[in-house]
Structure 1
Amino acid sequence: MVSLSNNAAHSRSLYGFSDDHVAINSAQPDDDLIIDHIELISGPEMVNRPIRTTWAILLAIVIYVGLVISAYIIPLECGNNISSRICGEDPLSLILYIHGGIWFTFFGLDRYFHLKHKKNRLNGYLNFYRKTQNVRRMPILINSCANAVMVVLVKVLDSHCSRDSCSKLSQIQWIQIVISIECSAALIFLMVYLVQTVMFNNKKALPDVTQDELSTGVGTAYSDSDLGFRNESYDDQVMEKQADMIRYLKKHTEMLAKRNLTLTEEIYQLKRNR
């Protein structure tokens, strides 16, 4: 019995609801004082929180469009001997340098997407996080795969083909084909990601955890029509939703505990000053 009481006292003090704080609250009979200085808990958490990644998606789209355009413009502008001296390098080398350097930009954008979506998930938007989890990673994955393909392709072209042509196509034309395929695939995923993000922000929905199907535990995860056999992917999806819910509730509980401590101290100071 002693251990149980100690654990209970420890759990109350851990989240900011210790007996001392309760005593302070109960000792203050002035309800007007509390109303004036306590902000409702449900206020700031239950508002819409848009995700600020639209500008980064548009930047990635512009970079890919610029990449595919430069792949065709550079050979025309730097193809002859005079232009080559002005450009500093031959067209093939310039294209490869630009393509390799762009990877660092996409890596930075990918980290930015990751941080913003992680924050968005902790704010309670669990479905949108899972919906865009794969599509937002595709630009960096596609660019990384294209870089690997180009390394192999350039080595093969140098070993088995002449500088001017290889199977009726020049080395630059082979690189242009790879870049065109890369940009086409990446732009498709970026456009899908952009549409999903714009629709999410325009919807101005409250966090998923405020909805009845999520706030009541498992909710609609197990309906009457689902009774019987459920495959492993269905169970994994349910467990993933529950794990996201636990992460949000943990963060939410910690935030409420900190706010409770802050407001309790404010009430205590107001009580002493009166």
Structure 2
Amino acid sequence: MESKGPSLYTAGTSVDLTRSIDEDTLVDGPLISADALQSAIRREFQTVPTHCYAAALSFLHVLYVALSVCVAVLCVLKFGNEEKCVSVMGNVQGDSAIVFGKVCLWVLVLLFTWYVQHHHNRARRRGYLQFYRKTQGLKDLPLLINSTGNVFLLVILVAGLSPTVRIYMLLGILGLELLVALSCLLWYTVKVMRFNRERAAPDVSQEDHLQNYSITSLPTETGFREGSRLEEVVEKQADLIEYLKQHNTLLSKRLLNLTAQH
């Protein structure tokens, strides 16, 4: 029994010495400040350029409604020179031209929605989960509004109304659709411009900062809390895991580059 004591003590001492040597070799490397890493990560911020396309789509929508009113007044209601309408539009009826223009506008809105979804998915993969969720329903509203307007236009066209009543109802639908869609696009543009101007860090970095400097900080949205939906929690955790993988890859590359510089 007495002979085992020194051997165990010697083994434990050798393990401690080996561990301390290994730790010393890790510490001997060049130390990199957290400010350097944080500044390197902040340079990776990428703006969301969709606000420019939202403004362009708003302008095209206003232009389409203005031209539709001109065509309706001059060519359908015949309050102007009919010869100019015939020379410009040929054999195309005024209400048919308005419907064709509405289809082209709907295609533009569809392409805009796809483009916005692409950039918002990229922002979500970069860790901006709150921005993605706050604008998730807003970015789809223009397509929903234009699709609903198309349904009402089809109902008006097949209702068998008189040309005068039909064109007035058609213009009313276009005007109401313009007001609602333009409000959504302007509000979306404000949100995106505010996000680009703030150039904030990803959500995980902001939560870590609040937890480090706030003693009474509230729990984050990552875990499950009473009253929250399980599907929403699972979706948030999946987004967070995906972001952390990419964040670790980026951080490893920055560490290698900064280590090589020192």
Within the candidate set 94, 109, 114, 1:111 is matched to: 114
1:200-247 per-position Cα deviation (integer Å, ceiling 9, x unaligned): 22222222121135897xx7237xxx97xx2344x4444333222112
**2:83 equivalent in structure 1:** 82
- Measured after TM superposition, the shift of residue 105 of structure 1 is 1.0
**2:17 equivalent in structure 1:** none
State yes or no: 1:61 paired with 2:58. yes
**1:250 equivalent in structure 2:** 245
TM-score between both structures, scaled by the size of structure 1: 0.68
C-alpha separation in 1, matches of 2:29 and 2:139: 52
- Report % sequence identity: 26
Residue ranges of structure 1 left out of the alignment (5+ in a row)? 1-25, 268-274
C-alpha separation in 1, matches of 2:209 and 2:135: 19
C-alpha separation in 2, matches of 1:176 and 1:90: 15
- Measured after TM superposition, the shift of residue 185 of structure 1 is 1.0
C-alpha separation in 2, matches of 1:111 and 1:214: 34
Q: CA RMSD in A?
A: 3.4
For 1:85, the aligned partner's letter is: V
C-alpha separation in 1, matches of 2:184 and 2:255: 46
C-alpha separation in 2, matches of 1:72 and 1:120: 39
1:149-228 matched pairs, under 5 angstroms = 149-156=152-159, 160-162=160-162, 164-165=163-164, 169=165, 171-213=166-208, 220-221=219-220
C-alpha separation in 1, matches of 2:118 and 2:112: 10
**1:231 equivalent in structure 2:** 227
- Measured after TM superposition, the shift of residue 91 of structure 1 is 1.3
Assess, with a 3 A threshold, how the Cα gap between structure 1 residues 248 and 214 changes in structure 2: closer, same or farther.
farther
For 1:116, the aligned partner's letter is: H
Give the conservation status (yes or no) of the 8 Å contact 1:68–1:180.
yes
The higher-RCO structure (CA 8 Å, 6+ apart) is 1
Residue ranges of structure 2 left out of the alignment (5+ in a row)? 1-24, 212-217
- Measured after TM superposition, the shift of residue 55 of structure 1 is 0.6
Assess, with a 3 A threshold, how the Cα gap between structure 1 residues 200 and 64 changes in structure 2: closer, same or farther.
same
Structure with greater Cα Rg: 2
Within the candidate set 134, 152, 159, 1:131 is matched to: 134
For 1:107, the aligned partner's letter is: L
C-alpha separation in 2, matches of 1:193 and 1:115: 16
1:141-194 per-position Cα deviation (integer Å, ceiling 9, x unaligned): 1111211221222111xxx323x34xxx2x111111111111111111112111
C-alpha separation in 1, matches of 2:104 and 2:94: 15
For 2:98, the aligned partner's letter is: I
C-alpha separation in 2, matches of 1:260 and 1:205: 19
**2:124 equivalent in structure 1:** 121
Assess, with a 3 A threshold, how the Cα gap between structure 1 residues 197 and 261 changes in structure 2: closer, same or farther.
closer
Aligned length: 220
- Measured after TM superposition, the shift of residue 111 of structure 1 is 1.2
C-alpha separation in 2, matches of 1:214 and 1:126: 17
Residue 134 of structure 1 aligns to a residue in which SS? Answer: coil
C-alpha separation in 1, matches of 2:66 and 2:204: 45
